[in-house]
Amino acid sequence: MTAFAGMPAKKATQHSSGTLYMHQQNILFDLDGTLTDPRLGITRSIQYALAKLGIDEPDLARLEHFIGPPLLQAFMQFYSFDEAKAWDAVNFYRERFRVTGLYENLVFEGVPELLEALNGQGRTLYIATSKPWEFAREIARHFAFDHHFKVIYGSELDGTRTNKVELIRHLLDEEGLDPAHTLMIGDRKHDLIGARSNGLQAVAVGYGFGSREELMAEEPAFHFATVADLHQAFSKA
């Protein structure tokens, strides 16, 4: 297990050896940047939406900050769109994403083995993503990891529950989960804020799209630089 230097591991359980580990029965995973690398599909679809609105952005790397936060708010923040224009951008984005961008995606190396191991430990797994649930479920189906999860939760197409605080609260209520026995794993501050606001232990992963500075600012209980590190920590449980 790798924790941030000087950061307390809150709500963790200890073996007699003193090793901290994650004991929770219920594990919530973010999707983009945590289970999969959606870089190409998202940035190309953002590029397409901007072009529809007369904005040329040839450098896809400049669009990676769209990965993680709710799209409507991201268009408003990064391009100063009003809400109506931001919705136009979201709808143009979906034109391409639902047909092509969904599949321009890669499952991170080691994720299938991690999910298999957690299932083998008897854990109950969920996805909690700001992405619309119909897109998230199609991604999980297409890349053949949907069977590891009890339910895949996401937002509605009208923007309902794009906020991670609301989404996680909805999931907990729908599933009747005790926050003390539930863990949230994600790569952006939105995941960590959503977890903390709902009384869950938050785990940050460093292989996604959130910077170290962004993640450290939210004081997660654990940080793992790689999928392998995350898998190893669960193996110690």
Strands (E), the chain: 13-14, 20-21, 26-29, 36-37, 106-107, 124-132, 151-155, 182-186, 201-205, 222-224
User: Which amino acid, 38?
Assistant: P
- Residue tagged active-site, from 30, 32, 187, 191: 30
**In what helix (H) or strand (E) does residue 140 lie, and over which residues does it extend?**
helix 133-142
Catalytic (active site) residue 59:
no
**Residues 229 and 185 sit within 8 Å (Cβ to Cβ):** no
Owner of token pair 């708010």: 73
Q: Which residues of 92-129 are buried (b: 16+ CB within 10 A; e: fewer)?
A: bbbebbeeebbebbebbeebbebbeebeeeebbbbbbb
Quote the CA–CA distance of 188 and 186 in Å, as a whole number: 6
Owner of token pair 């539930």: 182
Q: Annotated active-site positions, please? A: 30
